[in-house]
């Protein structure tokens, strides 16, 4: 069994354990490894434009807001924009700030017919620490994965 298969099987077992309706759930480090091992895989960052501009971006990610800023209203064009941005057969990894919106995006994409949707657990900034601050416990940045400040 190859490393990619091993990672995806682990993610799929989490889907069973967490009763997810999409293919699986990956840690940030696993997601980064999948992106390196599967050239056709795409990371879809569903954070708002404000988050991308103020907090940071992941190089090469497809950026499609799940909720618009300001107001945090659902993006009614999300699935249309996703269809325009990624191949329908691509392995899709969804990420947001902490994993909630990307969970919803992975569900929606799966329901719309994309076959291989995964959520990135912990998101870009991770969970809040004891002082209610993000960016110190878990997440893409804390894992030391590629990102850039705008």
Note the pLDDT tens digit of each residue in 13-47.
999 999 999 999 999 999 999 999 999 999 999 99
109 falls within a domain? yes
Query: Under a CB-based contact definition with an 8 Å cutoff, are residues 34 and 92 in contact?
Result: no
112: nearest Cα among 21, 31, 34, 49? 21
Q: What is the pLDDT of residue 57?
A: 97
Q: What is the pLDDT of residue 134?
A: 77
pLDDT in tens, 66-108: 999 888 899 999 999 999 999 999 999 999 999 999 999 999 9
Containing domain of residue 12, as a range? 3-120
CATH number of the domain where residue 89 is located = 3.40.250.10
Q: What is the pLDDT of residue 90?
A: 96
Q: Cβ–Cβ contacts within 10 Å for residue 87, how many?
A: 11
1/37: higher pLDDT: 37
Helix (H, G, I), strand (E, B) or coil at 40: coil
pLDDT in tens, 45-63: 999 999 999 999 999 999 9
136 falls within a domain? no
61 falls within a domain? yes
Query: Under a CB-based contact definition with an 8 Å cutoff, are residues 64 and 96 in contact?
Result: no
Query: Under a CB-based contact definition with an 8 Å cutoff, are residues 124 and 42 in contact?
Result: no
Q: Is the pLDDT of residue 131 over 90?
A: no
139 falls within a domain? no
126 contacts: CB under 8 Å, gap ≥ 6:
98, 134, 135, 136, 137, 138, 139, 141, 142
Instruction: Report d(CA 15, CA 1) in Å as an integer.
Output: 20
What's the DSSP call for residue 18? T
Residue 7 to residues 37, 80, 83, 137, 147, Cα–Cα distance (Å) = 10, 29, 26, 22, 22
Q: Is the pLDDT of residue 127 over 90?
A: no
Q: What's the number of domains the chain is made of?
A: 1
86 falls within a domain? yes
Q: What is the pTM of this model?
A: 0.96
Q: Is the pLDDT of residue 115 over 80?
A: yes
Pairing verdict, β 117-120 and 24-26: parallel
85 falls within a domain? yes
**DSSP annotation string for 59-76:** TT-EE--SEETTTTEE-T
């Amino acid at each position: 069994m190859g490393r990619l298969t091993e990672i995806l099987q682990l993610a799929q077992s989490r889907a069973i354990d967490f009763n997810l309706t999409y293919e699986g759930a990956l840690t940030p480090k696993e997601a980064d490894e999948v992106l390196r091992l599967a050239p056709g895989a795409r990371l879809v960052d569903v954070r708002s434009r404000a988050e991308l501009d103020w907090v940071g971006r992941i190089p090469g990610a497809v950026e499609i807001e799940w909720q618009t800023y300001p107001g945090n209203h659902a993006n009614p064009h999300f699935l249309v924009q996703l269809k325009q941005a990624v191949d329908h057969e691509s392995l899709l990894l969804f990420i947001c700030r902490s994993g909630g919106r990307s969970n919803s995006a992975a569900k929606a994409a799966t329901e719309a017919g994309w076959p291989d949707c995964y959520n990135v657990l912990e998101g870009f900034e991770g969970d809040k620490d004891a002082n209610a601050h993000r960016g110190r416990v878990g997440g893409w940045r804390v894992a030391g994965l590629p990102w850039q400040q705008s």
